[in-house]
Amino acid sequence: MSSSSSPSSPSSPSSASSRDASTSASASASAAAAAQESSPPLPSLIRIVSRSSPMALAQVERVRAELALLHPGIRTEVVPVTTAGDRWTGALSALGGKGAFTKEVDAALLAGEADLAVHCVKDVPADRPLPAGTLFAAFLRRDDVRDALVHPGGRSLDQLPAGTRIGTSSVRRIAQLAVTHPHLDCVPFRGNANRRLEKLAAGEADALLLAVSGLERIGEQDRITEILSVEAMCPPIGAGVLALQCREDDTATSAAVAGLNDPDAWRETTAERMFLHVLQGHCNSPIAGFARAERDGRLSLRGRVFSPDGKTVLDAHEWAGPLDPATLGTSVAVALLRQGARELIDSIPH
């Protein structure tokens, strides 16, 4: 809108404000220029290493798509690897737990064969640090954390008759079903989600429990007959979160993917992984939990520890208030330790 008033004199408040604004803008521009000069140049190519399962590759495609929107000039290549966990059909404890799904991926990253690794956070061990020389550069926006029932006849969990065979090797799911549906029979079921669906179709089980986010990633969400609430089936630590891992000295790649980080996912995952780290659970200990960032900035964390037979259930739920995410995770873990979680976890063979 134009104004008919005359220009302000050099000594007028309006002129002073203009000079202040000009000085501020100049300072901001100088600071931005300095920051740009100090930032590492973006790479022209990022090689992404991932497990070679259909779900893992679908997760990589999400990262590539989001990175292309953020930095159209960066090319990406996929470096697929098959991990020991993908090849193994027995109990994970025989391979050292969840690290069986990440060891080869970490090795490719550290050897310089790739620049970026994509992980499901739930598959990354939290009882020990990340491999030396690596870090999480970003956590993507979180997907659905809930579990789903897949039943060819379209029944819900409560409608399944006694003796129904539920295909799952998850100690977390088995323990919780023992609490709520002890009349159902859990049968060992390993393999990626596509393979499990094939085994279900072959009659090796009557129903499956799978992650909602995983089924969505492979385009099989239409198979879902019921989505279980987090009260009915508490999710695993890190459910629905994809982590981007880089080498610590690769500042260019870290800077390139930093814009993909979701602040809520970062806070929630930090709290959850600290919770699991303090508990020092192993692959046979049924531990579940999830954090939730509210719109008003508050953060809550619920943690649960079960005995394998579901006869013992330890529960803690706290709100962060002024606590940072890691402190919240520690606080909830300590609450469970006071209830006897250490003795419970140590009593479970592994």
Strand ranges for the chain from DSSP E: 45-51, 75-81, 116-120, 134-139, 147-150, 165-167, 185-187, 207-211, 226-227, 242-247, 287-293, 299-306, 313-319
Other beta carbons within 10 angstroms of residue 292's beta carbon come to 17
* Look-up of token digits 């800077």: 255
Q: How far is CA 146 from CA 190, 206, 235, in A?
A: 19, 20, 6
State the virtual CA torsion across 148, 149, 155, 159 in degrees, nearest 10.
-100
The edge-to-edge listing of strands for the beta sheet with 287-293 is: 287-293, 299-306, 313-319
Burial of residue 313, with CB atoms counted within 10 A of its CB: 0-12 exposed, 13-18 middle, 19 or more buried = middle
The answer to whether residue 250 is catalytic is no
115, 123, 143, 250: the catalytic one is 123
* Look-up of token digits 């799952």: 168
**CA neighbours closer than 13 Å in the CB half-sphere of residue 299:** 23
The edge-to-edge listing of strands for the beta sheet with 75-81 is: 75-81, 45-51, 116-120, 242-247, 134-139
Give me the active site residues, please: 123
